[in-house]
Amino acid sequence: MPFPIHRLRRLRATEALRDLVRETRLDPKQFILPLFACPGEGVKREIGAMPGNYQMSVDEIVKECAEVYSLGIGGVILFGLPESKDEMASGAYDDDGIVQRAIRAIRAETPKLLVSTDLCNCEYTSHGHCGFIKDGVVDNDITLEWLAKSAVSHARAGAHMVAPSDMMDGRVAAIRKALDAAGFETTPIMAYAAKFASVFYGPFREAAESTPQFGDRRGYQMDPANGREAMREIELDIEEGADIVMVKPALPYLDLISQARARFDVPIAAYQVSGEYSMIMAAARNGWIDHDRAMIETLTSITRAGAGIILTYFAKPAARLLA
């Protein structure tokens, strides 16, 4: 007869007791803040659906990164808005491309801040798809060559880690091989391993100006219905050499974060994506939900599910609140 011997409310009675028995704690070191680099100088344009997030020119990104570092945040991940886009995504692997310039500038100013880069082509192609279009579809193997070149170019500019988000088959192996051949065998790969074709990327595509001009991404990103296939994607990426694997989006896929944590002994990351952020911001601005509590509850849930690393647009306000 458990009751009245056991009363679980005993340990909930005071703040001190709750603090003592809390199972999941957040640390700003586990957050990675996504940043959008754009051309120009002194540019800081707020993204409509993502208040508090901006398209920033390199000089502004450098200032932002100094602040990110001073807040004790784990690192940043860079996305680029190139001067011009073309069929070959040439801005992605140009040593003088927007992300490459941003990396060099950040590294010079804030050398200890972890700088990772998103490896994808959708921001650089004129059609907004994540690779080379052949017969109306994204050609997997040609796209691998672009990704490999971009990874080496980012590493050469000083990136600490590269994160492929394209969902081509075999990209981790191709990137690993190219990095090693160029002498970057110590540069880790954080693979967007289980990345779903999600409606929640909507605001990001405004931020990164990467909406596909025809069709959608369902021919390469995963079907939100498929959890077993997600485990296969993760397993293959680990076999190909991924150092960290990611589940994306986060909140609608907590089951998969948790399964991945139980099955694989590599660090697990989760991406709380733009739409997840926008929904909370919109509700908070309407007075319908408490911003800080929604932020902390979602970040805590993602951590409790098993993600040790969270890519989140809340990195700065969350770090301030946790300080």
Active-site positions read: 195, 248
Chain residues 220-279 in contact with ligand PBG, contact rule CB under 6 A: 273-274
Closest CB 194 distance from ligand PBG, rounded Å = 13
Residue that is written with structure tokens 């990110």 in the block: 68
Of residues 184 and 277, the one with the C-beta less far from ligand PBG: 277
The C-alpha atoms of residue 156 and residue 135 are separated, in whole angstroms, by 33
Of residues 59 and 212, the one with the C-beta less far from ligand PBG: 212
Chain residues 121-180 in contact with ligand PBG, contact rule CB under 6 A: 122, 130, 165
> Residue 132 corresponds to which amino acid?
F
In 3D space, the residue among 93, 107, 24 whose CA is nearest the CA of residue 61 turns out to be: 107
Of residues 206 and 243, the one with the C-beta less far from ligand PBG: 206
Closest CB 33 distance from ligand PBG, rounded Å = 11
**Strand-pair category, 75-80 with 114-119:** parallel
Q: How many residues bind ligand PBG (CB under 6 A)?
A: 11
Verify binding: residue 53, ligand PBG, rule CB under 6 A.
no
Closest CB 21 distance from ligand PBG, rounded Å = 34
Of residues 268 and 311, the one with the C-beta less far from ligand PBG: 311
DSSP 78: E
Of residues 122 and 268, the one with the C-beta less far from ligand PBG: 122
Closest CB 205 distance from ligand PBG, rounded Å = 6
The C-alpha atoms of residue 173 and residue 162 are separated, in whole angstroms, by 13
Q: Minimal CB distance to ligand PBG: which residue?
A: 204
DSSP 138-165: EEHHHHHHHHHHHHHHHHHHT-SEEEE-
Binding mask 190-229 for ligand PBG (x = CB under 6 A): -----------x--xx-----------x------------
The C-alpha atoms of residue 236 and residue 53 are separated, in whole angstroms, by 34
Angle made by CA atoms 68, 69, 73, in degrees to the nearest 5: 70
Name every residue whose Cβ is closer than 8 Å to that of residue 8 and which is 6 or more positions away in sequence.
Answer: none
The C-alpha atoms of residue 97 and residue 153 are separated, in whole angstroms, by 9
Closest CB 118 distance from ligand PBG, rounded Å = 5
DSSP 22-66: -S----GGGEEEEEEEESSSS-EEEETTEEEEEEEEHHHHHHHHH
Angle made by CA atoms 237, 243, 244, in degrees to the nearest 5: 80
Structure tokens at 167: 């969902």
Q: Choose, by CB under 6 A, the member of 118, 233, 237, 240 that binds ligand PBG.
A: 118
Stretch of 115-123, 148-156, 279-287, 291-299 contacting ligand PBG, by CB under 6 A:
115-123
Q: Considering Cα of 281, then 287, then 293, then 298, what sign does the dihedral take?
A: negative
Closest CB 121 distance from ligand PBG, rounded Å = 8
Q: Choose, by CB under 6 A, the member of 35, 49, 68, 120 that binds ligand PBG.
A: 120
Binding site for ligand PBG (CB under 6 A): 118, 120, 122, 130, 165, 201, 204-205, 217, 273-274
